[in-house]
Structure 1
Amino acid sequence: MTPIGLSNRSAGKTRPHVVAVPGSRRDGSYTRRALEEALDASEAAGGTAELLDLANLQLPPLDPSTDPPEDSETVRRTIREADAVILGTPLYHGSYSGVLKNALDYCGFDEFEDTTVGLLVVSGGAFPTPALDHLRAVCRSLNAWVLPHQAAVPRARSAFDESGFTDDDLRDRVRTLGTRAVEFATIEPGRAPPIVCQEV
């Protein structure tokens, strides 16, 4: 995956640009590894891919009474210029991480409205349904178009080895997320399909 300075929202672009945002700052994060797999699939489907790694940015807790940090504009610009965004998070206390929440707090409608968004959650235990539901609600509040397909990686410690996923079904589900992000990157929410009248 190669960081891209421009996106498909700019004139002249022909390939959908997919940005993945891991809500983990941990070295060797399973969330980051899963998102990298999804982005590989996005590239295989004809898109361009970029990992917006929050571990490399300085984003203090949002304080609206102070000037925003420089890295917050990096987050906003990268998401705003993407054709599709995949949000990934570890499961923390039944929900998504504070790292991802804080990054989203710096964003708004300008970044997410009418943007295709995919969701991925990684957990140490069972299927992390609540975190997926919580993220879906946040994206809906920002008028994003959330993919029906979502990916969850339960029991993450046994889901990966040095070479990647150990479970083909999990890998396929994550890769499908990356593929769908490209396939639906140009969808136009709220626009009904044309009605075709046929003579009978």
Structure 2
Amino acid sequence: MKVVGIGGTLRDGSSTERLVGAVLAACARKGAQTQLFGGSTLAALPHFDPQGGERTQAEAQLVEAVRACDALVIGSPGYHGGVSGLVKNAIDLLEDLREDARPYFDGRPVGLVVSAAGWQATGVTLGALRGIVHAMRGWPTPLGIAVNSVVQRPFAADGSLADDDIAGAVEAQATQIMAFGKVPA
């Protein structure tokens, strides 16, 4: 199975990017091949142009990775109760998949991760991501991960997951992604 992660902020190693990476690592331990498009990669993408034209190498790599994947993990910081522009721009680029035999996220499980400075922002942003995934014909996993960065400290100094509840949610989401992403023979 191939699982693609999309998410982060302009700051390399942001909590959001690291949480997406943690879900991908859990999927890898369960046998998946994974690829992460983090904040710095997303920042290199030009603003989405619906007219198409020649795509940059970075744009083409993201589109081709999603085209070939069996599942996704999408993470966004909760900015004012919405999906960050950086992540939304990457998702908008996936409009290039609209005419594929398997358009957009068709039939793929999508794990969702949100990190924000407050519970309201995590919930609203998680709901927005669920709506986007449904619109793109994907299957949001039943478990979405919402981390309140004011109350919770997800990572230890060495970068490992320090919060047992978050670590459990990461494992549960990876299990759901792997179970729902199995392609029938």
TM-score, structure 2 length as denominator?
A: 0.84
Match of 1:46 in 2: 31
Of 125, 141, 155, which aligns to 2:135?
Answer: 141
CA distance in 1, matches of 2:54, 2:88: 16
Structure 1 unaligned segments of length 5 or more: list them.
1-15, 189-200
Higher helix share: 2
CA distance in 2, matches of 1:54, 1:69: 19
Question: Aligned-residue CA RMSD in angstroms?
Answer: 2.0
Identity %: 30
**1:65–1:48 CA distance, 2 compared to 1 (3 A):** closer
**1:28–1:53 CA distance, 2 compared to 1 (3 A):** closer
Residue 153 of structure 2 aligns to a residue whose secondary structure is: helix
CA distance in 1, matches of 2:50, 2:2: 30
How far does the alpha carbon of each residue in 1:103-137 deviate from its partner, in whole angstroms, 9 at most, with x for none?
A: 11111343312221111101122261111110111
1:162 pairs with 2:157: yes
Residue 158 of structure 1 aligns to a residue whose secondary structure is: coil
1:116 pairs with 2:117: no
1:107 pairs with 2:94: yes
Mapping of residues 20-99 of structure 1, within 5 Å: 20-57=5-42, 58-65=44-51, 67-70=53-56, 71-99=58-86
Tell me if the contact between 2:74 and 2:110 (Cα under 8 Å) persists in the aligned partners.
Answer: yes
TM-score, structure 1 length as denominator?
A: 0.78
CA distance in 1, matches of 2:54, 2:112: 26
Match of 1:183 in 2: 179
How far does the alpha carbon of each residue in 1:82-117 deviate from its partner, in whole angstroms, 9 at most, with x for none?
A: 100000111111111110100111113433122211
Bigger radius of gyration: 1
Residue 159 of structure 1 aligns to a residue whose secondary structure is: coil
Residue 89 of structure 1 aligns to a residue whose secondary structure is: strand
Q: Which runs of 4+ in 1 moved over 3 A?
A: none
